[in-house]
Amino acid sequence: MEKKMDQEKGMTLIEVIIALCIMGILFVPISSMFLSTVKLLQEAKQLMIYSHLSQQYMERSKYDLYVGTGLHIYDIEALQLRVEVSIEPLERANNDARLEKIQLIVKDIDDTHELSRMVGLRRRN
Amino acid sequence: MVRNARLEKRGAAYILVIIILAIVGALGTAIFSVSMMNYRMKQIELYSKTAFYLAEAGLEEAYGLIAKEIDHAAAFGQLEREKEGGGHHQFKTSYTTYLNEKLVSSLSSYSCTILDPTLSNERPSLKVLEVEPFVNGNDKFSITIQSVYKYRNVSHMPKAIFEISVPNASLYPLEPTDIEDILHMRYLSE
């Protein structure tokens, strides 16, 4: 009877190890899934910020009469982002419509790399 | 009996682990797929805005082209007026004939500029939807144009109506501010 008890205890230990193994094996993909979810949400937030910023500055460049030609740099300290808007006349031989090309680039504030870009046209007023 | 109870308990631990892992896994998958969907939505929103401004650029170019044609038509009208020695009526006839004949074909054959090759090599395509040419007694030419742009599978097709009137012959040569009085552009809903 005592021998049997000992055997059963041993079985439980092995079982615990197996259970831990199973948990470990299954835990890795599950936790990595949670981690990538967090990463994905952060990236989505960044994308949202880029698209809202781009729209805001594009509309301003298109319709604000006081935004002239040339390069305009807007630093947004709170987001650590920089918006570069360059406005130049559209060079096209058969078009005398006084059109100007607006190129908008969202960058890191330290100017390292481009995060998103948009282009548009406006009529000079 | 004691042994049976132990066995049941051991089994319960396994089942518990499996159930907890299954629940956590299912929850994780659900949250992951929701956040994936959210990411795609934000991405499409960005593409859609990009496509929107590029499509609108097509309409702006159409405005430019029409302005150019108005300039040509006015020059033609002036030329005919001087040749025939007529007055404003002669100018108006030549001006309207020129636009009636040329405008639609020059819009249809126009290919828009590629504004930024790093973004996309596609051009906005212009479609003439409706034309109401100058006719006797009608001093307005109105034309509805749609610009279609597809950027990364997201497309936008804004429409605009352009209304052209007849300038006074004495205005020639036309200044850009005159063109703004002659040519009016209104955006329509997509």
Contacts of A90 in chain B (CB under 8 A): 113
Contacts of B45 in chain A (CB under 8 A): 47-48, 51
List residues of B whose CB lies inside 8 A of any A CB.
Answer: 3, 6, 10, 13-14, 17-18, 21, 24-25, 28-29, 31-32, 35-36, 38-39, 41-43, 45-46, 49-50, 53-54, 56-57, 60-61, 63-65, 67-68, 71, 113, 115-116, 118-119, 176
Q: Phi, psi (5° rounding) for residue B126? A: -100, 135
Six-digit token pair at A64?
A: 């604000």
Considering all CA atoms of chain B, what is the largest pairwise distance in Å, rounded to the nearest integer? Answer: 123
Residue A12 Cα, gap to closest chain B Cα (Å)? 8
Q: What is the pLDDT of residue A16?
A: 79
CA dist B149 and B170 (Å) reads: 40
pLDDT > 70? residue A37: yes
A47 touches chain B (CB under 8 A): yes
Q: What is the pLDDT of residue A1?
A: 47
Helix (H, G, I), strand (E, B) or coil at A122: strand
Q: What is the pLDDT of residue A26?
A: 81
Q: What is the pLDDT of residue A13?
A: 82
Whether B61 contacts B67, CB under 8 Å: no
Write the DSSP assignment of A68-110 as a string of letters: -SEEEEEEEGGGTEEEEEEEEE---TT--S-EEEEEEEEEETT
DSSP A66: T
Smallest Cβ distance to A23: which of B3, B17, B36? B17
**Across A3-20, average pLDDT:** 67
Judged on CB neighbours under 10 Å (0-12, 13-18, 19+), A29 is exposed
pLDDT > 90? residue A55: yes
pLDDT > 60? residue A8: no
Q: What is the pLDDT of residue A75?
A: 92
pLDDT tens per residue across span B45-57: 999 999 999 999 9
Asked if B60 lies within 8 A of A121 by C-beta distance, the reply is yes
Mean pLDDT of chain A, nearest integer: 85
Between A57 and B179, name the one with better pLDDT: A57
Residue B121 Cα, gap to closest chain A Cα (Å)? 13
A116 touches chain B (CB under 8 A): yes
**Which residues of chain B are modeled with pLDDT < 50?**
1-2
Contacts of A103 in chain B (CB under 8 A): 115-116
Six-digit token pair at B48?
A: 């859609």
Mean pLDDT of chain B, nearest integer: 87
Sequence-separated (6 or more) residues with CB below 8 Å from residue A90: A99, A100, A101, A121, B113
Contacts of B65 in chain A (CB under 8 A): 95, 97
Smallest Cβ distance to A40: which of B17, B36, B46? B36
Asked if B21 lies within 8 A of A30 by C-beta distance, the reply is yes
Q: pLDDT confidence of A67, banded at 50, 70, 90?
A: confident
Q: Using alpha carbons only, what angle is made at residue B156 by residues B154 and B158, rounded to the nearest 5 degrees?
A: 175
Whether B49 contacts A59, CB under 8 Å: no
Cβ within 8 Å of B, A 58-87: 58
